[in-house]
Structure 1
Amino acid sequence: MKVIDCELRTIVAAPADCQYAALSYVWGELPSDETWKTAGEGIEGRKLPELPDTIEDSMQIARDLSIPYIWVDRYCIDQANKVDKHRQIQQMDLIYSSATLTIIAAAGENPSYGLPGLSGGPRQGQHSLRIGDRLLVGTIPPVLSNSTWASRGWTYQEGILSRRRLIFTAQQMLYECNGMHCTESLVLPLDVLHTKSRHRFKTSVALGYFEAKRPGSNALDIMQYISEYYQRHLSFDEDALNAMRGVLQAFHKAPASRRVYTVTGVPICSILYSKKYENPTPAQLFLLGLLWYHVEGGIRRKHHPSWSWAGWKGGRLQSHSLLRREWFFLSGPSDTTVSIELTDGQLKEFPDFNDLSDFLSSIDYSARYIHIEAWTIPCSIVHITQKSSKFLQYSEFYISFPINDVDVGYLQTHLSIDTSDPIQRTNLLQKTYVVIFLPWEHSRKEPRRAFGLVVEDKGLFYERVGCFELSEVGVLRSAWWPHDVVLDSGDSKRDMIERSSLSQWFYTIPKRRQKIRLG
């Protein structure tokens, strides 16, 4: 790891236990400085010329706080050395979580803007009004969410992984660590807001800007982090996984009881491994991880596979899993198999948990293809207008599939494809697709359910189009959970089948066993 010596203005190897600040900022569209891209010469020992204002201001802040070093990605990572760059990207969780302080430049759109209050110019005034002997003062609501910084993909993990954050906006400074937060414009009684231990604010106090800022503390929160990051923008689609890698690493490094492994960003939550749920295997947990879904559809990123959320951009992801784990594992059949295709074309099956970490280290971090062997049925997609509900978000797109030789069923599906584009929408409704059934639940104690993926044949492989959940109970069982609903051949809403016959329906529906190469 390299850092900048703030006094000598030189790039040096980080001393052991060095105290350093890290900078999180927007790179912008400034022309690159080619003197930092001379391959083979390295960057250690280089004397820094005059830098953009945001960098210079951050170095001044570090000096004022008696922090001797600062880490700035553009200058501390050898951009011409692919091996070094890859190694540093793998360590983003360590770089930001180990920093004494992270300076967040949330004002401006490029590093020439500077930090407001320093070279960034004067800050916007705080409004006040005196009425008699009373003074009313505006508290300046945080505008971080509207900043360019908050819209960029790479800055997401930089803010989340940091322990202490000093945030510069156009109006004021904000401070937020993992236990408390405060703003420059509003002085609050911090002793009253803290718990007796003074380790953190009381739970009754409103959260700061970074509501989720302890990645790895709760395994089941991983989809919240992924869905927040998914809203950010990237200049290069191929960065979709790398810009989130630090957060995913934090989940991977968590204690075994709450560890989350990932394959191309798809989570494998080891916390779900429990005798209560019949000891699901890593392969089954990976299949469960495939059931992320879009609330609003997006468009494909060709650099990553369609079965990963990283293979899509635009739209909006659901922030929790499609289903509860007990629905997936209770007494469900286990004849669905999945394997990873290596870069040389070989297939590698998931091991047990004891060997899972070594297995994941041996495959490409961004695996491209998986092979699923499961029961499948043909289907098409139709549009059916439904009345809106104040409780639930309904998709108006359904897969149409044969129930038997005569009847046809319609099952609501969560599409990953953006249906707002008329051309895309027309193409969607004219094609044929395949439903892949994943392990499904048929316990006597719980409502019967089935889960699966909708995929399209692309020739050499299939691509994911969406996913579904089939419940025999129907849409009104819970006012807050997004249950799917099946229609009959008319427009009336009903359960697809009688309460006791989902398993019978599954075994009698026209289907075939098939191996799908999903990319």
Structure 2
Amino acid sequence: MCQFLLNLAPNYKRNYKLHVRLFDHLEIFTSDPNFSTRTVLPRSRFISVLRENKSLIYGYHIETEIVQSGVLVYSMASSPSPQISSVNPVTVDFKFLASLIAHCQGSHALCTQLEDRNSLPYLYLIDCAEEKVVREHPGQDYLALSYVWGSGSQAKSKAALRNTLPEYSFSFSEASPTVQDAVRVVRNLGRKYLWVDKYCINQNEVAEQQMMLRNMDLIYEHAEATIVAMSGENDEAGLPGVSGRARTPQPQFRTTRGCLISSCPPISHLFQTSKWATRGWTYQEARLSRRCLFFTEHQVYIVCPETTRSESVPSSPRSSWTSSLLNSSRLDANLFEIERSLIANGFWRDRYTFSRRTLTYESDVLDAFRGMLNRSGLHTLWGIPIIPLKATMNPHTGFSLGLLWSRRPSWAISTHLKSYDGRARIRRANFPTWSWTSVTGEIFNDGYEEQSSYGAYLKADSRVSIQSDAYIQFQMYLGGKPIFLHEVLQQQQHSNILPEESPSLFVHGDVVHFTRTNELRYSGRALYRLWGCEHLSLELPALLDLDEDPTLGSTQAREKSTIYDALILVDWNDSQKRNKKRLVLMLLDWIQPGLAERRGLLSDYREEYDAEVVNQIPKTRMSFVLQ
């Protein structure tokens, strides 16, 4: 029994003394927005293995630890527990899945809402009864598949299909095990059609292919459900419990009087070990679906924008504390987070979670996130937010706030549980350095207080309006000519995504000169001091975009210059302290006179500086191209 319990302990970053704890409730507010502030849930006893600490409060802040490996419930032999059901290790309960889909369709208003965009004239779908690809109306009922192709298989499959019309591209016997099992799922659920990118995107027509890629969000949103192959490293793995691949037996410890039975891990925990959860394209495929069927090695979880159910915990999160803890996830950005973060909800958290993933082709970064941009509630350019839709905010000020992306600082996430290791940050080709799309690795934005103007901007609040003392203007290039950002927005009607014709911006703003100190503070961040103004005593910590020595490879270093230039992005008071100012600058690297690239940020939005000092900073008005 000790070994059985040890196997169900959370995956901690370091060794702790563990203990077994019995719960019947937690001292928390439920995370389900459908509940009232203090919903009274029926108490239900469950067991969890946790780190032992006499001062630890067993509440919301360690909820992920309590449920990470699932919880245990004791069932008497004479009366099985109503909280946790036994999972068949051999086959999926398709009748149960079909009933949950029907319940979601009939009871969840949020799950039936669709994006009002008619961009797709038709769809190619696999007819699972006839085992062939057919061309259908986009309003046809179908299921979609989200899966990992596998190393090398994507390029080979595309090459093989390049000279094949979609109608002749699919053969059930030659399809990968994952696709074959997805076809079986469609049949077992009593459905007919399945959408799979490999066969349903025409590889022979570039315009048609681009149309489909730019509307992937609609394809997955309009699907009745998305089948997610979360288990396995590639498309050869199949779906556990569908055809030949067995599932991991549900942990149980039997005695003569009853049984300790595990709920299996919650769906949110399984993202930490899934290859599927590391891939870029799969993020918006699941995130924008109306409901997902997550096929895992343990069981199937059905998750929609309102709730979660699973084969082991089929009950509503309102029925008990056990089901509330395990079925509280929904199809939002929180579900896909590997760790708790302080990043604002909406676009910013979606971008952060997406940026932690990898792409086979780095050039796909914008297309793989375009569905989120379409629904961001903000006008965007090359993935950078400008202003919330219908806001009266100055677009140049809003765009400056959108440029405040950075790498994640060490203080931003704190957890006792293991997570993915950070990847080295490298530059992506053909993307502007001022856009987060130009670097690999996680992209962070401070989740600032909602009562501030910056907090309102992060919430995409259309009422936000503030004037900045940083007088800055941007011109983007259309048809080879620079046009002011506000003029482009006035002409933009059909999309909140501005044309990505050129990676260059023409910038008019104030530039400040700095020298770099040899000190390292703020968790290893270099400090920059005002050049020639030692009496002002202003030091700004730098957060550089790339993993490199800040003096290597830069034009300034080659010229043996000790002076660095930075563009003022934010200069205003956005706090309750009249004598303080927010000051954030973009560190520049001059490629040639009049042409610069971004290197990182100086300071961040959390820092406040003496307003009198900020007002005395000597500035040089400049116009230059930022690329």
Distance apart, 1:439 and its partner CA? 4.5
Q: Which amino acid letter does the alignment assign opposite residue 503 of structure 2?
A: R
Show structure 2 runs of 5+ residues with no match: 1-122, 337-342, 410-423, 458-464
Residue 248 (structure 2) aligns with? 124
CA pair 3-382 structure 1, distance change in 2 beyond 3 A: farther
Instruction: Look up the match of 1:284.
Output: 397
* Deviations 1:51-76, CA, capped at 9 Å, x for gaps: 11100110110111122111000110
Which residue is equivalent to 2:625? Answer: 517
CA–CA distance in structure 2, aligned partners of residues 223 and 284 of structure 1: 18
Q: Could you say which residue in structure 2 is the equivalent of 1:70?
A: 194
Answer yes or no: is the 8 Å Cα contact 2:528–2:541 preserved in 1: yes
Q: 2:596 aligns with which of 462, 477, 488?
A: 462
Aligned residue number for residue 583 of structure 2: 450
Q: How does 1:7-406 map to 2 (within 5 A)?
A: 7-15=129-137, 17-29=139-151, 30=153, 31-32=156-157, 34-38=159-163, 42-44=165-167, 48-50=171-173, 51-119=175-243, 121-141=245-265, 142=267, 143-189=270-316, 192=319, 206-208=328-330, 210-212=332-334, 221-251=346-376, 259-270=377-388, 273=391, 279-295=392-408, 298-318=425-445, 320=447, 324-325=452-453, 330-333=466-469, 335-342=471-478, 344-351=479-486, 355=490, 357-358=492-493, 364-365=499-500, 367-386=502-521, 394=523, 396-402=525-531, 404=533
Segment of structure 1 superposing worse, 236-245 or 359-368: 359-368
- 8 Å contact kept, 2:181–2:239: yes
Distance, in Å, in 2 between the alignment partners of 1:148 and 1:75 is 22
Moved more, 396-405 or 53-62: 396-405
Which shows bigger deviation, 157-166 or 372-381?
372-381
Amino acid at match of 1:434: D
TM-superposed deviation, 1:450: 2.2
Whether contact under 8 Å (1:291, 1:321) holds in the other structure is no
1:417 Cα deviation from its structure 2 partner: 2.1
AA at the equivalent of 2:233: E
Letter of the 2:545 counterpart: S
Which residue is equivalent to 1:6?
128
Q: TM-score, normalised by structure 2?
A: 0.66
Q: Given the two structures, how large is their TM-score scaled by the length of structure 1?
A: 0.79
Which shifted more, 179-188 or 357-366? 357-366
Aligned residues: 463
Q: Specify whether residues 186 and 442 from structure 1 end up closer, same or farther in structure 2 by C-alpha distance, changes over 3 A only.
A: closer
Say if 1:304 and 1:368, in contact at 8 Å, map to a contact too: yes
> Per-residue CA shift, 1:4-62, capped at 9, x if unaligned?
11111221112353110000000112232644111xx6323655352111001101101
The alpha-carbon deviation at position 178 of structure 1 amounts to 0.8
Q: Residue 479 of structure 1 corresponds to which residue in structure 2? A: none
Secondary structure at the residue paired with 2:349?
Answer: helix
Flag structure 1 segments of 5+ consecutive residues without an equivalent. 195-200, 252-258, 274-278, 387-392, 471-481, 486-494
| Matches of 1:306 and 1:55, distance apart in 2 | 39
Return closer, same or farther for 1:382/1:132 CA change in 2, 3 Å cut-off. Answer: farther
Q: Deviations over 1:312-363 (max 9, x none)?
A: 1025524636995359964533631111123x53111123697253497896
1:423–1:268 distance in 2 versus 1, CA, 3 Å? closer
One-letter code aligned to 1:337: Q
Distance 1:16 1:378 in 2: 56
Write out aligned runs for 1:463-502 (5 A). 463-469=597-603, 483-484=606-607, 499=610, 501-502=612-613
Letter in 1 for 2:505: I
Give the corresponding residue for 2:72: none
CA distance in 2, matches of 1:112, 1:260: 39
- Give SS of 2:259's match: strand
Residues 203 and 366 (structure 1), Cα distance of their counterparts in 2 relative to 1, 3 Å cut: farther
Q: Give the CA deviation at 1:513.
A: 0.8
Cα deviation, residue 125, structure 1 = 1.2
1:501 maps to a residue whose letter is: E
Q: 1:384 is paired with a residue of what secondary structure?
A: strand
More displaced, 304-313 or 330-339?
Answer: 330-339
Partner of 1:441: 572
Q: Deviations over 1:185-205 (max 9, x none)?
A: 3343556269xxxxxx98997
**Equivalent pair of 1:219/1:269 in contact (CA under 8 Å):** no
Contact 1:113–1:120, Cα closer than 8 Å, also in 2: no
One-letter amino acid of the counterpart of residue 404, structure 1: C
* Counterparts of 1:204 and 1:9, CA distance in 2: 38
Deviations 1:245-269 (A, max 9, x none): 1111122xxxxxxx21110000123
Contact 2:308 2:327 in 1 (8 A): no
Cα distance in 1 for residues equivalent to 2:590 and 2:550 = 21
Partner of 1:478: none
**Which residue number corresponds to residue 505 of structure 1?**
616
Equivalent position SS for 1:302: coil
> Conserved in 1, the CA contact under 8 Å of 2:229 and 2:295?
yes
Measure, in 2, the Cα distance between the counterparts of 1:341 and 1:77: 32
Distance (whole Å) between structure 2 residues aligned to residue 397 and residue 53 of structure 1: 51
* Alpha-carbon distance between aligned partners in 1 of 2:202 and 2:133, rounded to the nearest angstrom: 11
Paired residue type of 1:463: E
**Partner Cα distance (2:326, 2:311) in 1:** 21
